[in-house]
Amino acid sequence: MRRFAHVGAVAATTAVLIPALAAFDHAQAPALTAPLEDSDDAAPLIIEEITPTAVEEDSTVRVTGTVTNTTDSPLDEVTVRLRYSATPFGSRSELDDYADHGADLPATGPTATVDGPIEPGESADYTVEADAEDLGLGAFGVYPLSVEAAGPSGGALGEQHTFLPYRGGGSGPDAVEIAWVWPLMGTPQRAGDDVYLSDGLSESVGPEGRLGRLLTAGAQDDAITLEPPATPSPVVSEGDAGQDAASGDDPGDAPRATGDSDRVPVTWAVDPALLDDVARLTEGPYDVVTDPGEAGGDNDDAAPATESMDPSLNAQVWLDQARTALAGDPLIATPYAAPDIAALLRADLGADAEAAVPLGQDAVERILDRPADDAYAWPAGGVMDGATREFYAGQGATRFLLSDAAMPARQWSTATPTAEASLPLPGDEDGTALVADSRLTAVLGRDSTGPGQAALAQQRFAAETAMISAEDPGTDRTIVAAPPTDWTPSAAFAEGVLQASDDLPWLDPVALDDIKADPDAEPQRGDLVYPERALDRELSGDHLDEVAGIRRDVRLFNSILEDDADPFRPAILRLEAAAWREDDDLAATTRALVAHNVQADMDKVRIIPGEPVTLASKTGTIGILVANDLEDHTVRLKLSMLSTNPERLSVEGGNGTMEIGPGGKTTVYVPLSARINGRTVLQLSLHNTEGEPVSGEQALDVNATGLGNQALLISGAGALVLVVALAPRAVRKWARTRAAAAGAAPDPDAASGDGDGNTADTAGTATDTGDDSGTPAPKDDDKGGA
């Protein structure tokens, strides 16, 4: 008990020590202080290994690494030395401060000379050793340690800060339990079902890729390998899929190369949409957008340029190995695409949230040949409000993986509380919160892929867990290690933290399923809260408004499909993923791509343009050809035809429902009626069965050139009446013309002066001539006829 009291008492000492370290004479020590994980390829000093991780009283501390000459001249007589403090950290906050900012440490340890000279740009190895008993360390605790490199004149070349967990000569504090959640998750990779934002996923599931490293490290099984087979796997019939050709056993039942007793329990957490993305890579050619930025530009209507890719062998191997690795371990899954449930419920998009759960469950079982445990829920960011809790509880969840931001420790607590806590659920049900330590999540999320970063990250993990174990010795506690969902560890670090969970004396690995909350225990955490910063980080209203617009187009498209098909549901859910909180630009690109895909499929149900129509009679029937170019869906819809001049040309029928199978065409016959000759434009469009338009309008010219039999009879009768009316006049005119011609000849009687008769004849002619200058009245026509 005395050493634990010492650990608790050093807080005041360290509080005094840190300011003193900050004022340490920089002329006596290297001035280059770097944060724990800030080194890069050009770092002058790299730590590659620190052994042992847990230092005993009789241990020899050994630090190995490389020194790189980053100057323009050769370096000779380069020395590397250890610096440390014999006062341990008093709290996790002090440890974090040292990790972030470093400090000049008062005690100097052993020094080693590096073989030289070191030419510019070249590196040399170093090893520095120190006996633990010579360092003057006290009881169990975590001590600050730094490694410095100096040139021949004593000038600083580089420095790295790290930690020295010291167990001392005793047994140390009681071990805390640690439960691992191992994420196979990430940002959605597809827009439409066949269009990928990049080809990065195929690389990620390869042997050196992010998901490849996570799978092999989490499996802890030498038989799980992602190296492509030397020869292609034999084709297996559907009935034999999932069984070994020789033994007929399910591959998930195959024995592991390392015994289960040697494995640290892990609970796999998967995003079904990511599994779906990987599975699609194996099915056939797929398209990759060559320039995603173009899709979100001004010309959104243009199809983005894509490149066709062959099926991914990496994806095939990864899925095969994932089915084996995950076969016997606990498995939890988010709803499809890990949507931002809180934001969806707030935006009245609860139907999408509801749809994401069964879609995710089906995807996991279809792809991994096993179900996920639906008793677990992992809300976005590990936080949830009351509506989100009610939603998950309504889906059957009783165990909630949360961050300590959602259920923080009570104010009076001086130690990291145990992870499990009772969580009331709707209907007076009791649930369990499994609270992940956010500081440990941040430690796991630090970069471990650069030179020397894995060793530093490994040492930080050991230091952080040692501090937790020393906070409240003698009390049974559990910590949940839940790395970030986009975790990108190096293979060495991912494998190392699991091995350390088993090797470090202050840790005891357990399965997440084994953690049970005691409803009668005194609560160490407060009630469920939804932090203001969590609300601020939700998917923006602008993003969801854009998605809602796409959803309206999708609803219209779905309205013409048979069997309640909803082919764009996965794409919409991918747009609602919480991952888009962190990437507005790629979210906008993905929205534009999905919107384009929806419109492209809508355009596949179309009216095939025809030639202008000539109608040579009063009535007639025309045929309109309608095509369904969709490959997988039957459509039901109506053809609408409107005349722009119904007084001239009217549509007499049509507008019935038609059904067209995938890739099919049909002709719709529509009767027309013309009243007047001339050109009329018909507007054609397609509608769903409710009358909503599902296509743009097309114009069809119809030219009426004939009037029909009845019109001809009427015109003939009119012509006959006109002939009958004009014939008598024409006869009289002809008679007068003949008479006038006869009277103009020489007449012997005319010279004798028979004026009475001739005077009368001349007047009548004059009268007739005058009468012929206009249309005769009906009665005048009768006299002439007599």
12 and 157 part of one domain: yes
Distance CA 140, CA 145 (A): 15
Within a domain: residue 678?
yes
The predicted-structure confidence for 748-773, as pLDDT tens digits, reads as follows 444 444 444 333 333 333 333 334 43
Domain boundary (172, 187, 206) is at 172
338 and 431 part of one domain: yes
- Distances in whole angstroms, Cα of residue 202 to Cα of each of 198, 211, 280, 316: 9, 10, 11, 10
Domain boundary (172, 188, 211) is at 172
The total domain count for the chain is 5
Domain membership of residue 186 as a residue range: 178-230+258-294+304-448+470-520
**Span 234-242, mean pLDDT?**
39
Within a domain: residue 747?
no
Question: What is the CATH number for 698?
Answer: 2.60.40.10
**What 3-state DSSP class applies to 510?**
strand
**For the chain, how many residues are written?**
786
The predicted-structure confidence for 380-390, as pLDDT tens digits, reads as follows 999 999 999 99
Greatest Cα pair distance in the chain = 178
778 and 725 part of one domain: yes
User: In the chain, helix, strand, coil percent, each to 5?
Assistant: 35, 25, 40
434 and 552 part of one domain: no
Within a domain: residue 16?
yes
406 and 279 part of one domain: yes
Within a domain: residue 100?
yes
- Distances in whole angstroms, Cα of residue 284 to Cα of each of 310, 600, 629: 6, 21, 21
Sign of CA pseudo-dihedral 607, 611, 615, 621: negative
* Phi, psi of 205, deg, nearest 5: -90, 5
Residue type, 351: A
768 and 644 part of one domain: no
- State the CB neighbour count (10 A cutoff) for residue 15: 12
547 and 625 part of one domain: no
505 and 627 part of one domain: no
More confident residue, 178 or 648: 178
Question: What is the CATH number for 396?
Answer: 3.20.110.10
Find where tokens 């009881």 sit: 139
Within a domain: residue 506?
yes
The predicted-structure confidence for 690-742, as pLDDT tens digits, reads as follows 999 999 999 999 998 865 454 555 555 555 666 566 667 766 776 776 766 66
In 3D, which of 560, 557, 489 has the Cα closest to residue 184? 489
- State the CB neighbour count (10 A cutoff) for residue 462: 25
159: its two tokens: 């420095």
CB 362 within 8 A of CB 383: no
598 and 609 part of one domain: no
- Distances in whole angstroms, Cα of residue 187 to Cα of each of 48, 270, 451, 473, 474: 31, 12, 26, 40, 42
Distance CA 39, CA 147 (A): 13
Whole-number mean pLDDT of the chain? 83
Rg, the chain, Cα only: 45
Give 121's Cβ-side CA count (13 Å radius): 0
Within a domain: residue 746?
no
Within a domain: residue 264?
yes
430 and 402 part of one domain: yes
Distance CA 760, CA 266 (A): 138
596 and 613 part of one domain: no
Distance CA 361, CA 228 (A): 29
Strand ranges in 321-468 using DSSP code E only, listed in sequence order: 331-333, 376-377, 399-403, 420-425, 429-436
Confidence band for 309, pLDDT divided at 50, 70 and 90:
very high
The predicted-structure confidence for 50-89, as pLDDT tens digits, reads as follows 999 999 999 999 999 999 999 899 998 899 999 999 999 9
Domain boundary (672, 707, 742) is at 707
Within a domain: residue 739?
no
- State the CB neighbour count (10 A cutoff) for residue 167: 23
CB 361 within 8 A of CB 377: no
Q: What is the pTM of this model?
A: 0.80
Distance CA 304, CA 291 (A): 8
Question: What is the CATH number for 52?
Answer: 2.60.40.770
Looking at residue 266, the DSSP 8-state letter turns out to be E
163 and 221 part of one domain: no
